[in-house]
Structure formats: C-alpha cells, structure tokens
Amino acid sequence: MRPISLEADLHLPRERGLSSGGRVQIRLEKESGVVGICGPSGAGKSTLIRILAGLLPRGTGVIRVDGVAWLDSDRGVDLAFEQRAVSCLPQGTGLFSHMTVRENLLFAHSLSERPDKGRGSLDWFSLSGIFPHWTGSRRRPLPERLLLLVERFGIGDLLEKGPGALSGGQTMKVALVRSFLKETRLYLLDEPLTGIDPEGRGRLTQEIAALLRERRAMALWVTHTPGELSPVADKMVALPLEEEAPGRIEEEGPPVGFDLPFEREMTEWRR
Amino acid sequence: MIHSALSITVALSLSTATILSLLALPLAGWIVFSGSRTSAVWEALLTLTLVLPPAVLGYLLLVAFSPESPPGAFLAKLLGHPLPFSFAGLLLASLIYSLPFAVGPVAQSFRQVPKGTLEMARILGARPLTVFWKVVVPLSLPGIATGWILGFAHTVGEFGVVMMVGGNIPGETRTLSLKAYDDLLSADGRGGWEAIMPLLLFSFGALLALNLVRRRGASHAPNLPRS
C-alpha cells in the first residue's frame, strides 16, 4: 500500500486559554506509525489537531493529504470535517450520557457503516434514539467488526453500563473504540490516555500502535508525557511558544523544538 | 356545573401543553442552534407574553381573532365559526399566552447540552437532524417535561386571557379559574371552594411533578470523562 503523505503549513490562531498562536510546519510521508506532539500548555497542540480535522474553522495556511488540499486559505479551500478522510478523538471527549456503552458503540457503528443522509432519509427520525429501552436497542448484539474492537480494548464487561458508572480510563477506552470504528489512514488523537491507570497505559499504547500498523494508518498523538510514547513513536515534536521559531514536524532530520520542562521526559525517551 | 368547568380546564390544559411541547422542539432548536442573527429578536417576541398584562394580551388577541380582522376572518372561514368565545379561540389564545413557558425550559436544556457532545456526534458522522433527534432531544427530556408541566399549570391558572377571549360562557369556555371568580362574587361567596380545591390540587401536582423531573434530570446530567 502506498504511504500516506501529510503536508501542512499553518498559522495557529491566538485563542485565550487554548493557543498562543504561532506557525507550524508539517511534512510527513509514512506507511503507518505514530507521530507524537508535545509542548507546554497553550502551545497549540489541541488547536493544531482541531484545525487538521477541520473542526476549527479559523485556521489559515495549507493542509494537503495525499496531494488533496483540505485547507488552502489563499485559494479559499477549507473542507469540512465530513469531507476529510480522518478520524479524530478530541480532548475531553465524553460519551452520550443517555446511552449505555453498547448503545454508544452501536450508534457510532451505524454511522460508520452507512453515511447519514440526514434530511434525505428518515433514519434520523426513530423512537429508538429517544427511548432506546422501549425499542429493544439495548439488547441488540454487536456486529463482528465492533466486537473485535471491544475485545481488543478489553471493554466487554462495560457494555451494559451507563457512562456515569465508568471511570475516566474506562470512558476513554470506549471513546477510543468508537474513534477506531472509522477505518481511515489518518487518526488525530488528543491525549488518548487521559484517565488510564499507569499500568494500563503501556498496554493500550501498544494496542493502538498495532492497530495502526494493521490498518497502515498514521496517528498524530498529542501527549503531555512524551516518555510514554517512546516505544511506538517514530517522531516526536514539541510545539514551541515563540512565533519566530515555527514548530516543525518532519519525517527526516532530528526532532526539533524541545523545551523545558520536557527535557527530562525526552532524555528518558532517547535512552 | 363544576364538572363542565373541570373538563374544559383539563381539556384546554392538556391540549395546550401537548401542542406547545411539540412546537417547542423546532422553535427552541432554531433559537439555540440556527446561529441566526435574528434569533434573539424572535426569542424576545416569543417571550413577550411573559411581561404583557394578561388582560391586555387578551384584548389584543380578541381584536386579532375578530372576524373583522384579516387573520380572524381567515380562521373563521377555516373553522366555520368565529374564534372569539369558542373553545378553539380559547386554545389558540392559550397557546400564544403559554408559549414562553414551554419554549424557555426546552431552549435552556438545549443550551446545556455540552458542545463537545454535539461535536462528537458530528465527528462520528451524524448530520444535524440526527444529532438533534438522537442526541439533543434525549438529553433534554427533563427540560421538555418541565416545559409540558409549566405549559399545563400555566393554562390551568390563566384568567385574564380566557376571560377576554373565551367570554366565560358556562359549559363552553368557562374554566375553573373563571368559575372560582364567579362563585366568589356570588351572593354568599362560599361556592368558590368547589373550583378552588381542584386548582390547588393541580398547582400542587404541577410543583411536585416539577421537583421530580428536576431530581431525575440532575441524576441524568450529561457525563464528561472523569480524569
């Protein structure tokens, strides 16, 4: 399978409490793997992920994936999220609290299997959405593809629970399964290990990396602890805060832009 | 006599609350999610009846419903009879009068659905109508129930508007509140309790139902991941 290429030259918008602005250049061509993104709070990690996904309409610059322009602000191109071949797990993602874990996954699965036509079909209008326990959707079996992911991430015993009964780590695992239901070659993961206990982090990291290899997919993975990505990341970059020194994420050349306080983690990673 | 006032009040309140709850979904959805610059103006217009004196609103509606006015003439032709002093007129007036009580809680519930939840539904591939029906509406059920209860309770207790538009005709447009008023003004003034007691029971029941919905709503609040 041909490698996936991602090129971007972006000016991150300044957002109070989210991003201090600055320029980010990305040039990657990989068959699969993980590219870690770290940096101090406010460096624009989450903003970068959201602009790449097309969830933040205030990005300026260029994004090309496999030669297709997703964003080219000079030419007025800015594809919506739905038009970009990407799966995204934004920070602080919650589950739908009116659905059990099973229903959350089935809802995501139905949308990944059959594109939602919205007004064009009557699928959106069904009582199962509002009163799932009246319509039997709480007992529907999981399709094969979903079942495999559920077993892989070890959430089989959570299916009948409501999101309120889950810990932060369990919620994140369900959210990861939901995100990986979409089969694509680019995954944008914003701190996907949030809430996972220290013992489980390594195992989950390896599981995600293996899944990416199988799908020949690449993940841009935002983390606050670069050390935990060391076994799987091919490249790690820290977004700097200074506007004059753009953050560079490139396939070739040494990692650039590491600043304190990440020195300790990076030393650990290099070792 | 109390039976007809009671049945008219119950029929009017049930119809008003149910129709308003159905109307509140698209109205509140448009106000909260359309992003239209005029939505604030429309929201102010919809809530105008909260601040207008009921008798003034009743008078305005009476004028608007009169067969001499274009909308009144149109509706009279549609229904086969003039709107004033009829149950249909009473129902339409109640719908307009109680509209903010049904739309307000629904809009408030819609606003409380976390933006991240809406975004996640979109990320998973849901189109706006699917997000609305399968995510926003189920998460807003306590607000929708609150809107129904408030619409019902407000209609049970309305006086000025039903007096002006309904005309207080026994067996046709006389509600419990109008009967209580009539009875209290009667010679002995003791018959009022016959209508006051059901009004008290309805009010207590509505407040009790509101509290139960609020408690249930609190226990089903949207969950964000615990870190």
Please report the ipTM that was assigned to this predicted complex: 0.78
CB B117 within 8 A of CB B222: yes
- Answer yes or no: do A107 and B225 touch at CB < 8 A: no
Q: Is A2 helix (H, G, I), strand (E, B) or coil?
A: coil
- Answer yes or no: do B225 and A168 touch at CB < 8 A: yes
| Residue-by-residue DSSP string for A107-124 | HHHHHHHS---GGGSSTT
- Answer yes or no: do B125 and A53 touch at CB < 8 A: no
| Residue-by-residue DSSP string for A73-137 | TTTTEE--GGGS--EEE-TT----TTS-HHHHHHHHHHHHHS---GGGSSTT--HHHH-TTTTTG
- Answer yes or no: do B127 and A118 touch at CB < 8 A: yes
Q: What is the pLDDT of residue A200?
A: 87
**B contact residues 55-114, partner A, Cβ 8 Å cutoff:** 114
- Answer yes or no: do B220 and A98 touch at CB < 8 A: yes
Rg of chain A, C-alpha, whole Å: 19
Q: Least CA distance to B141: which residue of chain A?
A: A130
Nearest-neighbour CA in chain B from A231: distance (Å): 24
Domains within chain A, CATH numbers bracketed: 4-95+177-270 (3.40.50.300), 97-165 (no CATH)
- Answer yes or no: do B223 and A123 touch at CB < 8 A: no
Nearest-neighbour CA in chain A from B218: distance (Å): 12
Tokens of A134: 């009246």
Question: B126 at the A interface (CB within 8 A)?
Answer: yes
Nearest-neighbour CA in chain B from A256: distance (Å): 30
**A contact residues 210-269, partner B, Cβ 8 Å cutoff:** none
- Answer yes or no: do A98 and B128 touch at CB < 8 A: no
Look at the domain B2-217 and name its fold: MetI-like fold (1.10.3720)
Q: Which of B117, B129, B134 sits opposite A94 (nearest CB)?
A: B117
Q: Least CA distance to A130: which residue of chain B?
A: B138
> Mean pLDDT across the stretch A166-172?
92
**Bridge partners of residue A88, in order along the sequence:** A188
- Chain B CB contacts of A158 under 8 Å are none
- Chain A CB contacts of B22 under 8 Å are none
Residue holding tokens 């408690």?
A: B215
- Chain A CB contacts of B123 under 8 Å are 53, 55, 81, 87-88, 90
- Chain B CB contacts of A127 under 8 Å are none
- Answer yes or no: do B123 and A88 touch at CB < 8 A: yes
A116 pLDDT higher than 80: no
Q: How confident is the model at residue A253 (pLDDT cuts 50, 70, 90)?
A: very low
Q: What is the pLDDT of residue A252?
A: 42
Q: What is the pLDDT of residue B107?
A: 94
Q: How confident is the model at residue A82 (pLDDT cuts 50, 70, 90)?
A: confident
- Answer yes or no: do A167 and B226 touch at CB < 8 A: yes
- Answer yes or no: do B225 and A119 touch at CB < 8 A: no
Nearest-neighbour CA in chain A from B175: distance (Å): 35
Q: What is the pLDDT of residue A251?
A: 45
Q: How confident is the model at residue A16 (pLDDT cuts 50, 70, 90)?
A: low
> Mean pLDDT across the stretch A126-136?
60
A142 pLDDT higher than 70: yes
Q: Which of these, B88, B196, B90, B107, lies nearest to B150 by C-alpha position?
A: B107
Least confident segment among A150-154, A157-161, B21-25, B189-193: B189-193
Angle at B168 between CA B84 and CA B3, to 5 degrees: 120
Q: What is the pLDDT of residue A249?
A: 58
Cβ neighbours, 10 Å, residue A143 = 14
Q: What is the pLDDT of residue A259?
A: 35
- Answer yes or no: do A171 and B225 touch at CB < 8 A: yes
Q: Which of these, B129, B115, B25, B113, lies nearest to A111 by C-alpha position?
A: B129
Q: What is the pLDDT of residues B78-115, one digit of tens each?
A: 988 988 999 999 999 999 999 999 999 999 999 999 98
- Answer yes or no: do A94 and B133 touch at CB < 8 A: no
Mean pLDDT of chain A: 79
Nearest-neighbour CA in chain A from B225: distance (Å): 5
B148 pLDDT higher than 90: yes
> Mean pLDDT across the stretch A5-26?
73
Calculate the alpha carbon distances from A200 to A42, A165, A170 in Å: 28, 19, 11
